[in-house]
Amino acid sequence: MESSGGSLFRNQGFVRLWVGQAISFLGDAISMVALVVLAAGLGGRASAVGGILVARLLPTLAGPFVGVLADRLDRKAILVGSDLARAALTLGIIFTRDIFTLYVLVFLIGLAKTFFNPTIRAAFPSVVAGGNLTRANSIISSTFSTSISVGPALGGFLVATAGLDVAFALDAVSFLISAIFLALVPFSRPEHAEDSGFFEEFRSGVGYLLLSRVPLAVVVGASLIVFTTDLVTPAEIFLARHFGAGTEGYGVLMSLYGVGMVAGSALMATVAERVRLLPVYLVALLGYAVALCGAGLSPLFTLALAAITLAGISNGVDNVTCDTILQTSVPENFLGRVFSVRFLGFGIGEAVAYPLGGLLTDATGPSHTYLIAGIATALALTFTIAMLRFAPSKRG
């Protein structure tokens, strides 16, 4: 493994992880379009598409228990196994002929993802030299942001020209490629007491997080931010229509948000270890709040687009700093459990925000929804700062 001052791109472990994840990110973004189209076709109603969201999110409820396994077992085995399972399940979607079977497969794919996400975050510091961790997270975040910017358009094109089966087959292949690359990455095995039981380690993980001021504030704050910022997701297309921009304007809005995310991640890659992460994280959350309020108050669509771009930049910076703060402040043998709680909070935040955001948009209109979300984000930031200042702590 390279020293902390070495180039990330001379670190073969990181390069393999990055390439595998890049291909998998793109495959996921492509297949998500196909999944929505298939659900709508099999179910015949919008609620069928909503059921896909529920099926994907339900497995995150098991996240804290999965996190114990991420801190006990061979992380490479978990990651490779999760990718192979997702490849097989995604191929299974090709042969699905009813909506119930589709829900079951999506649930199982979500379960495999629940194993994968906290484990890859927990394993990351062992692959990347410590001094390059911020830059490494920036590269991964930029790659993810790029995939969700171009992937849906590519997915729509593939579905229209080659059909649903091709999109799902490509996603399955992307998981296989990711599994191959991850199998070649050297991961350290986390240390844990050999005589400790599963539930004892679960309790110790919860106890660690509750008494660790910075990790607790970041995990709780990040979950609140997911909830407040995702309130605007149902309002996005209606904001474009509010300004008379229509579907094309919605496409521009989403593209600029994606460009902002890439730019925010790239910015963190540039400054890397030259900045203090916690203040930058808090400034990013403030930028997010200002951007959402600005979009809600904008009298012109061009100004709203500028605010949306700022929101994307803030989200890009937020993603990088949040991950890196946790990876650098939490001992390696607790990382799986801490990240699993973080992803649980994300899942709950999304599950509540989407329907509530839809109700807000129906009741108040898209502009007011953005303004409410901005104010709520500012309150979440205030709560995060209060936790950092006043929460009891025996660690960090």
pLDDT of 46 > 80? The answer is: no
Q: What is the mean pLDDT of residues 370-392?
A: 93
Q: What is the dihedral of CA 177, 22, 67, 136, to 10 degrees?
A: 130
pLDDT of residue 4: 44
Q: What is the mean pLDDT of residues 4-27?
A: 83
Reported as a pLDDT band with limits 50, 70 and 90, residue 40 is: confident
Q: What is the mean pLDDT of residues 179-190?
A: 89
Instruction: Report the range of poorest mean pLDDT among 107-111, 151-155, 182-186, 368-372.
Output: 151-155
Supply the mean pLDDT for the chain: 88
pLDDT of 274 > 70? The answer is: yes
Q: What is the dihedral of CA 371, 372, 373, 376, to 10 degrees?
A: 120
Looking at residue 185, what DSSP letter applies?
S
Q: What is the mean pLDDT of residues 99-121?
A: 93
Q: What is the mean pLDDT of residues 14-26?
A: 91
Instruction: Report the range of poorest mean pLDDT among 155-159, 237-241, 342-346, 373-377.
Output: 155-159
pLDDT of residue 148: 79
pLDDT of residue 2: 42
> Could you tell me what percent of the chain has a pLDDT over 70?
94
Instruction: Report the range of poorest mean pLDDT among 58-62, 152-156, 221-225.
Output: 152-156
Q: Which residues contact 306 (CB under 8 A, 6 or more apart)?
A: 294
pLDDT of 334 > 50? The answer is: yes
Q: What is the mean pLDDT of residues 275-303?
A: 96
> Could you tell me what percent of the chain has a pLDDT over 90?
51
pLDDT of residue 393: 60
Q: Which residues contact 200 (CB under 8 A, 6 or more apart)?
A: none
Reported as a pLDDT band with limits 50, 70 and 90, residue 146 is: confident
- For the stretch 130-145, pLDDT in tens is 558 888 899 999 998 8
pLDDT of residue 197: 76
pLDDT of residue 27: 86
Taking a C-beta distance cutoff of 8 angstroms, is the pair 307, 42 a contact? no
Q: CA–CA separation, 31 vs 156, rounded Å?
A: 9
Q: CA–CA separation, 301 vs 110, rounded Å?
A: 37
Looking at residue 97, what DSSP letter applies?
-
pLDDT of 21 > 70? The answer is: yes
Positive or negative CA dihedral for 197, 326, 10, 84? positive
Tell me how far CA of residue 61 lies from CA of 245, 338, 351, in angstroms: 39, 14, 11
> Would you kindly state where each structural domain of the chain is located, as residue ranges?
1-188, 196-391
Please state the pTM of the whole predicted model.
0.85
* Domains 1-188 and 196-391 belong to one CATH topology: yes
Q: What angle do CA 393, 394, 396 make, to 5 degrees?
A: 75
CATH of domain 1-188: 1.20.1250.20
pLDDT of residue 286: 98
Q: What is the mean pLDDT of residues 320-324?
A: 94
pLDDT of 177 > 90? The answer is: yes
Instruction: Report the range of poorest mean pLDDT among 96-110, 178-192, 252-266, 362-376.
Output: 178-192
pLDDT of residue 396: 47
pLDDT of residue 3: 42
pLDDT of residue 243: 93
Q: Which residues contact 17 (CB under 8 A, 6 or more apart)?
A: 120, 124, 127, 181, 182, 185
> What number of residues does the chain have?
396
pLDDT of 66 > 90? The answer is: no
pLDDT of residue 392: 62
Reported as a pLDDT band with limits 50, 70 and 90, residue 394 is: low
Give domain 196-391's CATH number out of 1.20.1250.20, 3.10.20.30, 1.10.357.10, 3.40.630.10.
Answer: 1.20.1250.20
- For the stretch 206-254, pLDDT in tens is 898 988 999 999 999 999 999 999 999 889 889 988 999 887 888 788 8
